[in-house]
Every structure is written in C-alpha cells, then in structure tokens.
Amino acid sequence: MSIHQCRLACAIFAAILACTLGCSQKATAPEKQQQAAPSPVLGEASPWHMDLEVSPDHPRMVKPMTFTLHITDEHAQPVNAAEVNGALTMKLMDMGTTQIKFAPKGNGDYEAAMPSMDMSGAWNLAVDASQGPVHAKKSFEFTVYD
C-alpha cells in the first residue's frame, strides 16, 4: 500500500469515526427531550393532541417498559373510549413490525406494555387512534439502551 493509499484509508476511517461519534451523541439525548418534540405523521392533520411517555425514562433492552399515551381533543379535553393501536419499528434496521394494543386507563390515558425489546437503539412507535368518525395518527421516537 502506498503512502497516498494509506492516507486516504486513514481519512476515510476518521470520517466514519466522526460520523459514528456524532450519531451516538444524538442517540443518547434524554428521552424527555426527544418525546417533547415527537415527529407527527406527515400529510395527516390530527384533530387530537397526543403525548407519549415511555417508562422507565432510560428503557433497557431486556427489561419491561410501559408506553403511556395521553390524548386530548381540540378543546384540551381528555379523549376516552378510543381504539388505540401502535406499531413498533426499529429506525436503522429492519427488525419487522411489532403491533401493540393500548388499553384505556381513563382521563384520556391509554397504556401498553412490552416485556422486552429485541434490540437496543432508536425505535419508532406509530400510534393510530380512532373514535367513531375521528381518526388520528402520530409517530414517536425513543431510544432503547443495552
């Protein structure tokens, strides 16, 4: 290998390392901050406001976790008796889709539990809620740790 090829290989390695470190910095941001600005499903105007809380705050791959969804209408009143389902997908790798069903808990709260997750990393939870003619969708991002 020539010196030029060696320098090129080192430069490529440095760029990959910098990108990896930059990505890991972003992935380790606290969940509260990530959940405070969930990304809505593009192209859909929702008549309801949905907030997601993932607990524990620092979910681990082999530990149970709970998703608590709070839904309010356009007048900030709790939405009760809605049909709420979710689809879990990993953001950076195809791990398939895990369907989850949320149970109503009252006062606009809905809950779903996962006994464990298949892999650590960035995940997306696409929520689909409906009640009669009203239908709302929203996606939330969260991180599962080792």
pLDDT in the model for residue 45? 60
The tokens for 136 are 């709302």
Asked whether 134 and 47 are in contact (CB, 8 A), the reply is yes
Q: Please report whether residue 73 resides in a domain.
A: yes
Q: Please report whether residue 51 resides in a domain.
A: yes
Whole-number Cα distances in Å, 32 to 4, 8, 142: 47, 41, 9
pTM, two decimals, is 0.69
The domain tally of the chain equals 1
Calculate Rg over the CA atoms of the chain. Answer: 19
Q: Please report whether residue 49 resides in a domain.
A: yes
pLDDT in the model for residue 15? 53
Q: Please report whether residue 24 resides in a domain.
A: no
Q: Please report whether residue 76 resides in a domain.
A: yes
pLDDT in the model for residue 46? 77
Q: Please report whether residue 54 resides in a domain.
A: yes
Q: Please report whether residue 102 resides in a domain.
A: yes
- 101, 145, 104: which is closest to 123 by C-alpha? 145
Full pLDDT tens readout for the chain, 146 residues: 555 454 555 555 555 545 454 544 444 444 333 443 343 443 356 789 999 999 999 999 999 999 999 999 999 999 999 999 999 999 999 999 999 999 999 999 999 999 999 899 999 999 999 999 999 999 999 999 99
Task: Assign residue 78 the CATH number of its domain.
Answer: 2.60.40.1930
Whole-number Cα distances in Å, 86 to 22, 77, 83, 128: 30, 22, 10, 6
The tokens for 146 are 């080792």
Domain that residue 72 falls in = 31-144
- 50, 41, 65, 54: which is closest to 139 by C-alpha? 41
pLDDT in the model for residue 113? 97
- 145, 146, 136: which is closest to 52 by C-alpha? 136
The helix/strand/coil state of 64 is coil
The tokens for 97 are 């889709």
